[in-house]
Amino acid sequence: MDYLAGLNPEQKAAVLQIKGPVMIIAGAGSGKTRVITYRVAHLIRSGVDSFNILVLTFTNKAAREMRERINHICGPEAKNIWMGTFHSVFAKLLRVEAEKIGYPSNFTIYDTDDSKSVLRAILKEMNLDDKLYAVNFVLNRISAAKNNLVGWQEYQQNDQIQADDQGGGRGKLGVIYQTYVQRCYRAGAMDFDDLLFKTNELLKLHPDVLNKYQHKFKYLMVDEYQDTNFSQYLIVKRLAAVNENICVVGDDAQSIYAFRGANIQNILNFEKDYPDLKIFKLEQNYRSTQNIVSVANSIIANNKEQLKKNVFSEKETGDKIKVMRAFSDNEEGKMVADTIMQDRSTNGMKWHDFAILYRTNAQSRSMEEALRKNNIPYKIYGGLSFYQRKEIKDLIAYFRLTFNPNDEEALKRVINYPKRGIGDTTVDRIIVAADKNSITPFEVILQPNRYIEKAPASLSAFAAMIQSFQVLAKNQSAYEAALYIAQHSGLLKDLYEDKSVEGLNRYENIQELLNGIKEFSEREDIEEKGLDVFMQDIALLTNDDKDKNKDADTVSLMTIHSSKGLEFPQVFVVGLEENLFPSQMSLNSRSDLEEERRLFYVAVTRAERKLSISYATSRFKFGTLINCEPSRFLDEIDARYLELDYSAKPAQSSFFDDERNAWSRKPDTKGDTFSKPKTATTPPPVKTTSILAKAHVVSKDFKIADTSNLQVGMQVEHERFGFGKVLNLEGNKPDVKATIFFKEIGQKQLLLKFAKLSIVGGAE
């Protein structure tokens, strides 16, 4: 029991409670991975058969770390636990049971690119406008339906869904959905959403299968439960129905994935499903200083929907959180880069100790420019992963075709690469023949002369090559099979003969993939080492697994969504401006705004020792420089924990006042330039409750007006700046700028198309 010695009382209590429904509310940095790990180890030490334990995570990285720790405590028994991401665990289950729902056990798993390719082909066949039926939109629509367990039949029969589609001019979405599902089925393929959708279908339609796994998985643990969607929720609930030995771990304050179907109500209402639930709260933060924790607490306290907890830290108080104001997005980038340079030099830090987090990918531009000017090495996370490179996808397509010759997307990708005289016209004829005869394209290729007039001889040669790969892959290790396919497909030779720099890089990437397969073949912790097993592993990689240069000494740049689960000694959260963070799209409902606040909470709690928050008073958007307001979230932070940095000077060409009216527009006698006011103003004193002035209380009858006919002298109201008078109008529609004097904050210049003004009085 020595593994219990290092746990605090609440952690220990959660580990020891192994019977019945349990919910562990784990605040940021509270050691939840350790608790899950030790709880599983304690189950095994208490006599539970490791084959009867199911642990579901959201990343392969988390599953690997837990298994290694459990192995250290319990030895080889750790190998028997069903542990992994929802998708990897249920893909494994479906490999065993898929034939019951009409799929082959060797089904292909389509990634996003594969799904988009199928949809593009369908849209082309149906002669639909690819702007109205944008592929991303269609795919997201289908994904949302599957995550809510709405099949294509229910989709077509649901009056509300049909009305929505017709109203948006997309009445064919139901037919597209049906065709997409049928096309995937014909190819023996499932997309990512199908892995959960089909598992639900299997458990619903086959009570014998459900009963089998209910009695197999006597103990269930679910990590990051706040991120589960309806499909995941229902699978877990069904599997736990017999024994009810279910433990969910999560933090409602870190629920940030509603856009991809996560439902925070799953964790908020967990007690309704299990009235005899035992709840444990992990409230001690072992990651961050007390000041950082206090800031996070003051932010999340503003959410109405939450499970109350009091997170605290026993680490040092730490530095106050620096709030930096810049006069443009470029100056914001410069301030961040300068701070990194200074702190690295002063404190002896490494580049990888720093992270810059932003709300949208577009914000990386100004950060990148500033880092490059200072010769600071950086890495953007969420870019093109190793497994998304063309040459890697090409070789993997050969692997996929070897194990599933019905995989139409893999076939189309490599049938004429390297070139073998099979052009697009021939491929189109193959697809038409397959549709006409209700068979797969590969079946057409096996007998080309039967289905295609004047079929090129290279079709038969291609089919024979794939069949030879199939025979070899059954009898050889993953590495031997992969190397043979790379060589005899002609792909390796084609890349080797390309002597350009890009060609050399592509060839080296293939070698790196083969090295990875060789390493996989030599692993001792897995029993099945075939190429098909390797293929499933990489098909189910999550973003945290795809980066090949994790240990490089570089500053990390990423969206806040990508940062979840990570931590850094020093963090910069940039772009704290209204309509950016919180995003403009989130201002339509309380639930959306609360999710944005949770996102801010996640950003803040990534920091271990130092945290800086920045905002700009002007920023380019779609090529236009716009005026920016500080985020309302800054108002919610208790100013006792903050230090203001107003040291940035406005660019000479800036025509925006800052939000304190510290700088004003003053025509210079020499021309249309702008100068500093004669009397320099200083930042206002810090208040005891807020960093910024409290927002204007909007009038009850406030209504955003059409400002196309706004005139000088009119009285207006702004949601944040209050009541004001129009002093000047300049520019041409739609980029008219209004200079307005507001009673509460002074003179500001606003772009009317973004200003959201209410007109309260006519021109004097």
Active site residues: 32-33, 223-224, 254, 606
DSSP string, 98-118: GGGGT--TT-EEE-HHHHHHH
- Is 423 among the annotated ligand-binding positions? no
Tell me the three state secondary structure of residue 364: helix
Q: Which of 385, 405, 387, 382 is nearest to 535 (CA)?
A: 387
Between CA 568 and CA 353 the distance in angstroms is 6
- Is 27 among the annotated ligand-binding positions? yes
Q: Which of 53, 61, 38 is nearest to 83 (CA)?
A: 53
Q: 668, 655 in Cβ contact below 8 A?
A: no
Q: Take residue 709 and report the two structure tokens written for it.
A: 């006919």
User: What ranges in 132-229 are assigned the alpha helix state H?
Assistant: 135-147, 152-157, 159-167, 173-186, 192-205, 207-216
- Is 29 among the annotated ligand-binding positions? yes
- Is 28 among the annotated ligand-binding positions? yes
Q: 168, 158 in Cβ contact below 8 A?
A: no
CA distances from 199 to 87, 227, 236 (A): 10, 18, 11
- Is 33 among the annotated ligand-binding positions? yes
Q: 84, 57 in Cβ contact below 8 A?
A: yes
The strand ranges marked E within 196-304 are 219-222, 246-250, 278-282, 284-285
Residues 6+ apart with CB under 8 A from 248: 22, 23, 24, 221, 222, 225, 236, 267, 270
Between CA 80 and CA 83 the distance in angstroms is 9
Give residue 407's Cα distance to chain centre.
27
Q: Take residue 34 and report the two structure tokens written for it.
A: 């350790």
Compute the radius of gyration of the chain from its Cα atoms.
29
Residues 6+ apart with CB under 8 A from 136: 116
CB atoms within 10 A of CB 15: 23
Query: For 722, left (φ over 0), alpha (ψ -120 to 50), or beta?
Result: left
Q: In the block, which residue shows the tokens 């058969």?
A: 49
Between CA 721 and CA 222 the distance in angstroms is 46
CA distances from 505 to 203, 341, 501, 509, 582 (A): 46, 32, 6, 6, 41
Q: 288, 605 in Cβ contact below 8 A?
A: yes
Amino acid at 4: L
- Is 301 among the annotated ligand-binding positions? no
Burial state string for 272-287 with b = 16 or more CB within 10 A and e = fewer than 16: eebeebeebbbbbbeb
Beta strands at 378-380 and 555-559: parallel, antiparallel or unpaired: parallel
Residues 6+ apart with CB under 8 A from 665: 655, 657, 674, 739, 749
Q: Which residues are annotated as a binding site for ATP?
A: 26-33
